[in-house]
């Protein structure tokens, strides 16, 4: 019987591939038999990630590149196509925030550092579209391919503090829907564009914001937990199933979707 979830031999390119969420998902996909291409800026971390994936049996490789460097992305694209002859999936995992693009409780929006706001927009939105423009060319030729973007809980509601990041992730949502239509209309139904919107996961960037050194929750951590019906933060493995589903033929009729993986945060008013 056909296994719609079979991803063995699929070539999956992952940006932000040594980060907390996309990095763990990349290793999961390698264990499931995918040939994972680890993209990132630090060669040492990429080498470690590839050797771990190879131990799991993946024909993995890495390319050093910044998601905002078109020439480096194009070089990576050439290397990947020379090695595998195709790309099946692109996961846009690179993203992040900067202090100057946020509004802490003792400041107002007028204290925003505009250059950092621009940098956050550029990383999260520009760093999603640019890899799509480069690696998506293979999809155009193949008439087949899957794009998985990373949205956030800050994209559809005003999440206090994180203005620039929320603005950028709202852009990622729109881009996901827009490209889903564009690819379908221009190149047929073999190319799909979806996103997942993780709820609150502890990462290096938000650890100090959500937890105290003794592991207890900060006031903000408690606020998040109160608005999460599951009453806990996510752990990386919580996104594996959704990524697997989106990368596989099991989601063949799904495009333009932004799937929350959030313990119920987005469907709950908090009261
Ligand atoms: N952790 C969460 O709670 C959470 C929640 C919602 C959305 N997200 C989003 O999920 C995605 C993955 O998040 P994560 O928690 O793994 O974050 P992370 O910070 O652990 O990983 C992000 C990775 O992107 C890389 N990166 C940053 N700038 C880059 C650039 N210019 N070029 C190439 N790589 C670059 C970083 O080095 C890092 O490895 C991000 O888009 C993030 O915004 C995370």
Structure tokens at 78: 């050439």
pLDDT band at 186 (very low <50, low <70, confident <90, very high): very high
Query: What pLDDT is attached to residue 1?
Result: 83
Query: What pLDDT is attached to residue 203?
Result: 85
Neighbouring-strand partners of residue 61: 37
Q: Flag whether 91 is in a domain.
A: yes
Q: Flag whether 258 is in a domain.
A: yes
The whole-number average pLDDT for the span 202-216 is 90
- DSSP notation for 10-59: -EEEEETTTSHHHHHHHHHHHHTT-EEEEEES-HHHHHHHHHHHHHTT--
Residue 110 exposed, middle or buried by CB count within 10 Å (0-12, 13-18, 19+)? exposed
Q: Flag whether 2 is in a domain.
A: no
Q: Flag whether 85 is in a domain.
A: yes
Q: Flag whether 220 is in a domain.
A: yes
Nearest-CA residue for ligand 1 atom 38 is 19
The whole-number average pLDDT for the span 126-136 is 98
Structural domains counted in the chain: 1
Range 106-109 contact pairs with CB under 8 angstroms and sequence separation of 24 or more: 109/163
Q: Flag whether 58 is in a domain.
A: yes
Q: What is the pTM of this model?
A: 0.98
Nearest-CA residue for ligand 1 atom 32 is 66
- CB-side exposure of 225: number of CA atoms within 13 Å? 13
Residue 108, domain extent: 11-264
Q: Flag whether 127 is in a domain.
A: yes
Q: Flag whether 169 is in a domain.
A: yes
| CATH number, domain containing residue 222 | 3.40.50.720
> Which residues sit with their C-beta closer than 6 Å to ligand 1?
15-16, 18-22, 40-41, 66-68, 93-96, 123, 127, 150, 152, 198, 200-201, 203-205
């Amino acid at each position: 019987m056909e296994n719609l979830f079979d991803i063995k031999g699929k070539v999956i390119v992952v940006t932000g591939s040594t980060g907390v969420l996309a990095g763990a998902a990349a290793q999961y996909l390698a264990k499931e038999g995918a040939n994972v291409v680890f993209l990132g800026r630090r060669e040492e971390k990429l080498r470690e990630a590839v050797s771990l994936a190879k131990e799991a049996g993946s024909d993995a490789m890495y390319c050093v590149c910044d998601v905002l460097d078109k020439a480096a992305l194009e070089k990576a694209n050439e290397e990947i196509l020379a090695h595998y002859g195709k790309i099946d999936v692109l996961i846009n995992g690179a993203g992040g925030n900067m202090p100057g693009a946020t509004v802490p409780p003792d400041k107002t929006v007028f204290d925003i550092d505009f250059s950092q706001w621009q940098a956050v927009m550029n990383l999260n939105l520009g760093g999603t579209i640019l890899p799509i423009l480069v690696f998506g060319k293979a999809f155009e030729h193949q008439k087949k391919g899957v794009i998985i973007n990373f949205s956030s809980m800050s994209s559809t509601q005003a999440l206090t503090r994180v203005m620039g990041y929320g603005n950028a992730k709202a852009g990622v949502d729109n881009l996901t829907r827009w490209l889903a239509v564009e690819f379908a209309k221009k190149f047929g139904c073999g190319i799909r564009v979806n996103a997942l919107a993780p709820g609150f996961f502890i990462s290096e960037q938000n650890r100090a914001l959500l937890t105290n050194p003794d592991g207890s929750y900060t006031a903000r951590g408690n606020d998040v937990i109160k608005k999460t019906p599951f009453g806990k933060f996510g752990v990386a493995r919580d996104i594996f199933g959704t990524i697997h589903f989106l990368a596989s033929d099991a989601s063949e009729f799904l495009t333009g979707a932004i799937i929350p993986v959030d313990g119920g945060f987005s469907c709950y008013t908090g009261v």
